[in-house]
Structure 1
Amino acid sequence: MKILKVLILGGTGVISRQIVEQLLIAGQEVVIFNRGTKRLAFGEDLEWIHGDKSDRESFQKLMSGRQFDAVIDMISFNAADARSTVETFTHTAGQLIFCSSVAVYKRPLKSNPIREDAEELFDNPEFGYAFQKAEMERYLQGVISEGQLPISIIRPSLTYGVGAANLGVLRQNYNIVHRIRNGKPLMMFGDGTTPWSFTFAPDLAKAFVGAAGNKRTFGKTYHATNEEVSVWNDLYVEFGKILGIEPKIVHMPSELLMRANPGLFGHLYYEKSYSGLMDNSKIKQDIPSFEATISLNKGLQMMLDWYENEAMTVDADKDLMEDRLTELHAQWGRQIEALNIVI
């Protein structure tokens, strides 16, 4: 097997740290580029380059003359970011692999389970994250069509893992455990029955590692997710099973939550109110090693272990926000009951 020299732009995030670990296990030569604000214990078998990718001129100078078999870009969020990567490595990389997102699928969806080639790209600027990622993909598709260099695009779905700060409807993380243990209600959007497949970072990393140097992935776009069918309520129910305490869950429309805090809840309204079940046939055909095997129960146990060993901190502001939202829900219920509507 040929040893690949792989550059990771990022390298210490929830997903990218797993990519680095799996590349090292596979015996690949790994180089990490990031700002150097976080240094993980990967050992001495890799090279670190520190810099700021947003300083495009400095970034290009740092990378000048360096050759890589593959560059995995985990830190491009818009077309300008992606253009910087393309322009920097057009003549010095054998392949570029970009991390996008399933948020780029335009809602309502046309397929279920979702198939890559059946969907259109998101086009509503009101949900900035999805729109900018879709703009990035539109730019990259133009580069692909021009045949400038091999590009692969991988779209993760909602992914959890050690180091994550995105678990829960309020992205409240350890607060979920805290609230269940203390008998406090948890806020869920909608009625909690929207289908979803929750993915964990060690599984997702297999997609990026399997794409590196893989000519079958050149010029193609894939999503890479778990295929275990759950609904959103299961996220809290499963935590309750692990803790041995039945959680108290209250439900509120995603539209009202978004009005309370568009920045925090916009993704629920624009993306997660629709089914999140994916058909992974395409990626499995080109990357046979990709298979998501971590169940929701096993993944949440991993998260609980991490919380209790390293990250057992309550976010007081989010705890107060959840208290206020659930109390508003209770008041709303009492007001409706008081109407005593008779038909």
Structure 2
Amino acid sequence: MKVLILGGTGVISRCIVEQLLAAGHSPVLFNRGTRKELFREDVEWLIGDKNDADTFQALVRPHRFDVVIDMISFNAADAALTVQTFKDRAGQLIFCSSTAAYRRPFRSIPAREEAEALVDDPAFPYAYHKAEMERYLHTVIEGGEIPVTIIRPSLTFGIGGANMGVLRQNVNIVHRIEADKPLVVFGDGTAPWSFTFAPDTASAFAGAAGNERTYGQSYHATNEDLHIWEDLYLEIGKRIGREPQLVHISSQLLHEANPALFGHLYYEKQYSGLFDNAKIKRDIPSFRNGITLAEGLDMMLRWFGREGHPVDVEKDRLEDRLVETYYRFGDELKSLF
């Protein structure tokens, strides 16, 4: 199949490209063309910016695709541009949404697709706009314009990512453990979660491509390796042979201090992150979700070491200030009694 990936160089999408190549398909990447070094094999590229709608449509107009995988639509308008552009020149559209689009708290645990509702509160913009995108796509499905499949990843770690940790501090976590500097954990650290890694998530998209069972359907695609949030830091400590020091700060206080930085904690991650994958396993037998937390973190640590990631000094200082505030509040609290 000839498969166009809108994006193609992100954490999940680069794995999709690799899996499509391994399966003998012909992936074509549409993006700004700044990261061609990611793929050893000869991959066709269309260079452009989807935000420039006229140029984007003119660039793809001469082509037809069996499948288009859209990894860069974040709202209904983005998705509408994809639908209007490809409804007559593609056999299927696959959109990347997010489990963040589910309303919290869940009605079912592990969460099942048919049991959950989409966010309708704009307070957490990322989740709200993904939900609005899905509501639009359901009108497309109902109208029969073109076969549409929606995949909802949960929090996914992978090579190239910058989203690990409360502050999304990545290699700073290793730095702080090695330097005996405390790490901030939101809440009491016991919120249940299944951490997912990019090669597994990518198998959902690759397996949905050209798969008629997925037409008109929505799926989450997540790990089922049960953990709590503290395990992320404790397991990294095990991998590097040092026990981390953890301090716990309320997700509500963090959000009130900086909604932009900590909204994902307050609106999403303080709740259960457990998902039932029966539906996707039924319809996409090639879907994989077996990378354990230990295996995935080994992959990430090898990447950190291989590329020599520098410490984010600004985030390190912010975490120092949060830790200092935590201890100062504790001392003031004790003085009350």
Matched, 1:310 2:300: no
Partner of 1:140: 137
Give the Cα separation in 1 of the matches to 2:311 and 2:92: 42
Give the Cα separation in 2 of the matches to 1:41 and 1:170: 27
8 Å contact kept, 1:65–1:92: no
Q: How high is the sequence identity, in percent, across the aligned residues?
A: 63
Residue 220 of structure 2 aligns to a residue whose secondary structure is: strand
Question: What letter matches 2:334 in structure 1?
Answer: E
Pick one of 38, 62, 65 that aligns with 1:65.
62
In the TM superposition, what are the counterparts of 1:250-289 in structure 2 within 5 Å? Answer: 250-289=247-286
8 Å contact kept, 1:12–1:40: no
In structure 2, the gaps of 5 or more residues are none
Question: What letter matches 1:241 in structure 2?
Answer: K
In structure 1, the gaps of 5 or more residues are none
Cα deviation digits, residues 12-67 of structure 1 (max 9, x gap)? 00100000001001110110000112223313432011000011111111111311
Matched, 1:170 2:167: yes
In the TM superposition, what are the counterparts of 1:1-343 in structure 2 within 5 Å? Answer: 4-340=1-337
How well do the aligned residues superpose, as a CA RMSD in angstroms? 0.8
8 Å contact kept, 2:9–2:38: no
Cα deviation digits, residues 252-307 of structure 1 (max 9, x gap)? 10011112221110010000111000000000000011121110011111111111
Give the Cα separation in 2 of the matches to 1:310 and 1:235: 21
Give the Cα separation in 1 of the matches to 2:217 and 2:125: 24
Give the Cα separation in 1 of the matches to 2:144 and 2:306: 48
How far apart are residue 202 of structure 1 and its match? 0.5
Give the Cα separation in 2 of the matches to 1:279 and 1:263: 29
8 Å contact kept, 1:114–1:277: yes
Structure 1 residue ranges (4+ consecutive) displaced by more than 4 angstroms after TM superposition: none
How far apart are residue 126 of structure 1 and its match? 1.1
Residue 38 of structure 2 aligns to a residue whose secondary structure is: coil
Residue 331 of structure 2 aligns to a residue whose secondary structure is: helix
8 Å contact kept, 2:255–2:261: yes
Cα deviation digits, residues 167-218 of structure 1 (max 9, x gap)? 0010000000000000000000000000000000011110000000000000
TM-score (normalizing by structure 2):
0.99
Question: What letter matches 2:172 in structure 1?
Answer: N
TM-score (normalizing by structure 1):
0.97
Give the Cα separation in 1 of the matches to 2:321 and 2:255: 15
Give the Cα separation in 2 of the matches to 1:165 and 1:195: 22
8 Å contact kept, 1:196–1:230: yes
Question: What letter matches 1:268 in structure 2?
Answer: L
Cα deviation digits, residues 219-269 of structure 1 (max 9, x gap)? 000000000000000000000011111100000100111122211100100
Length, aligned pairs only: 337
